[in-house]
């Protein structure tokens, strides 16, 4: 009887996936991915998280974006069911209660900002993202119980970041640069050049850290190539913030990891070589990264408005996602900022 039910369920799922693929490709791909992914989640949650990690860098691809969200919901559901059923012991969460309380306080404060926000609908439309991220953070923190699981997730992040750069460069996935006459900026699967650069720098740190436990020559060569690709991606994104983050990371690594200064120096040298190659491939990147004359993008005006808002609302702010709504209160006329 049970086998018949399983067969019937499989046939129904196949029909649903087939219909979805015919009607809406992204939805169909997402359902197919979830169908293949569900058994992994049920058997090995840690491996499932590691397989899900690369999708973080591919959110700009519609099909993978939908699949990532569906997989995240499935992970959260299985994790929560394990907690409620007593199948999982959240020992990490008990050991770091202050961190848990801090995460909870942050999302609670963001939710409460609807009370003083000018447009409450904007708060409600965005706050669920923060709750979802907080839940996923707690899920990952409490599910990775040994170094093997941590290394798998780190490796997944590196693979996803490198794949994002390769796919972006191969497909010409570039967005218009804010600097007139400059080349297009790499945005790849992240959908935004600055977001991509932030993720690539973080993935570069993880790749460098993985060189310590991974002893095989092939593994280290693969990580070295990944670091080079990530550096090329940061340069191609033409992100000033990404460049500053990379420099700060390199400097901090040399200062704080003195016992491994030789290894850190080797990674920094590798990254420097990759940056030189990237600047040769994207010559206009240096102009944008090294230029802070505002370039007509209005960024300094945005900073001015943000600072004035902070002066007026130093404690509670203006409410989650309400910056654009309140910015008009600090602009007398287009192009000239004056406090009202």
Q: Domain locations in the chain?
A: 20-88, 146-297, 299-337
Give the three-class secondary structure for 333. strand
- What would the pLDDT profile of 127-164 be if each residue is shown by its tens digit? 988 988 888 888 888 888 888 889 999 999 999 999 98
Which residues, in sequence order, are bridge partners of residue 185?
175
Per-residue model confidence (pLDDT) at position 162: 92
Phi, psi (degrees; rounded to nearest 5) at 239: -90, 120
- What would the pLDDT profile of 94-123 be if each residue is shown by its tens digit? 888 888 899 999 999 999 999 999 999 999
Task: Give long-range contacts, CB 8 A cutoff, 24+ apart: 300-309.
Answer: 301/337, 302/327, 304/337, 305/330, 305/331, 305/337, 308/339
Which pTM was predicted?
0.77
For residue 254, is pLDDT > 90?
no
- Number of other residues whose CB lies within 10 A of the CB of residue 336: 8
The rounded distance, in Å, linking the Cα atoms of 175 and 116 is 36
The rounded distance, in Å, linking the Cα atoms of 264 and 251 is 10
């Amino acid at each position: 009887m049970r086998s018949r039910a399983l067969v019937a369920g499989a046939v129904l799922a196949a029909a649903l996936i087939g219909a979805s693929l015919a009607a809406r490709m992204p939805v169909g791909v997402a359902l197919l991915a979830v169908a293949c992914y569900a058994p992994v989640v049920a058997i090995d949650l840690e491996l499932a998280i590691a397989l899900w990690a690369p999708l973080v860098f591919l959110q700009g691809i519609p099909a993978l974006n939908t699949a990532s969200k569906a997989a995240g919901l499935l992970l959260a559901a299985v994790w929560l069911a394990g907690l409620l059923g007593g199948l999982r012991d959240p020992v990490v969460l008990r050991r770091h209660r202050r961190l848990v309380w801090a995460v909870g306080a942050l999302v609670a404060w963001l939710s409460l900002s609807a009370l003083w926000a000018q447009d409450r609908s904007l708060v409600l439309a965005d706050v669920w993202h923060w709750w979802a991220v907080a839940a996923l953070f707690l899920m990952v923190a409490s599910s990775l119980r040994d170094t093997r699981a941590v290394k798998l997730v780190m490796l997944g992040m590196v693979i996803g970041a490198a794949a994002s750069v390769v796919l972006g460069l191969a497909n010409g996935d570039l967005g218009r640069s804010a600097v007139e006459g400059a080349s297009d900026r790499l945005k790849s699967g992240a959908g935004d050049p600055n977001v991509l650069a932030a993720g690539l720098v973080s993935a570069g740190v993880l790749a460098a850290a993985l060189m310590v436990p991974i002893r095989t020559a092939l593994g280290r060569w693969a990580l070295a190539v990944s670091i080079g690709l990530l550096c090329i991606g940061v340069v191609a994104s033409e992100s000033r913030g990404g460049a500053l983050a990379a420099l700060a990371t390199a400097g901090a690594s040399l200062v704080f990891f003195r016992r491994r200064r030789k290894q850190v120096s080797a990674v920094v040298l590798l990254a420097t070589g990759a940056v030189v190659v990237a600047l040769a491939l994207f010559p206009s990147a240096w102009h944008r990264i090294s230029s802070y004359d505002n370039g007509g993008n209005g960024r300094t005006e945005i900073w001015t408005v943000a600072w004035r808002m902070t002066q007026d609302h130093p404690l509670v702010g203006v409410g989650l996602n309400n910056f654009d709504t309140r910015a008009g209160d600090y602009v007398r006329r287009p192009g000239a900022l004056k406090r009202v």
